[in-house]
Amino acid sequence: EVQLVESGGGLVQAGGSLRLSCDASRFTFDPYTIGWFRQLQGREREAVSCISSSDELTYYADSVKGRVTISSDYAKKTAFLQMNSLQPEDTAVYYCAAAPYFTGSLDCFTGGFGSWGQGTQVTVSS
């Protein structure tokens, strides 16, 4: 199973920012979709944002729209999640995942991704 590697998590005060990175260089499919997901304590994993590699379609969950920006470096198979105006309810383990991308159909749900990272903890203090 291909492993992705997340980095950039940490502890931040409410209102602060963090930038998460995802190394998907070991993912061999092309084009591909990179997704960011999070799992709050005691809750199911949920989609945060996704981006397609070839045409850069994007998806944002309603809970993060306007505060989060996803981007990617196609050549390096690296994706980023810039998170601003963080709130305590954003505290979670954040995972990146990759899946083959079929042009024009950006699906962003956990069941659509087969390659995952180990996760990085994001903690927002009030």
Q: Is the pLDDT of residue 3 over 80?
A: yes
Instruction: Provide the pLDDT confidence category of residue 54 given band limits of 50, 70 and 90.
Output: confident
Instruction: Provide the pLDDT confidence category of residue 47 given band limits of 50, 70 and 90.
Output: very high
Summary mean pLDDT of the chain: 94
For 81-122, the pLDDT digits (tens) are 999 999 999 999 999 999 999 877 899 999 999 999 999 999
Q: Is the pLDDT of residue 12 over 80?
A: yes
Question: What's the CA angle centered on 77, arms 2 and 112, to 5 degrees?
Answer: 55
Decide: 50 and 99 in contact? Cβ < 8 Å: no
Handedness of CA 80, 33, 124, 120 (dihedral sign): negative
Please indicate whether residue 11 or residue 55 has the higher confidence score (pLDDT): 11
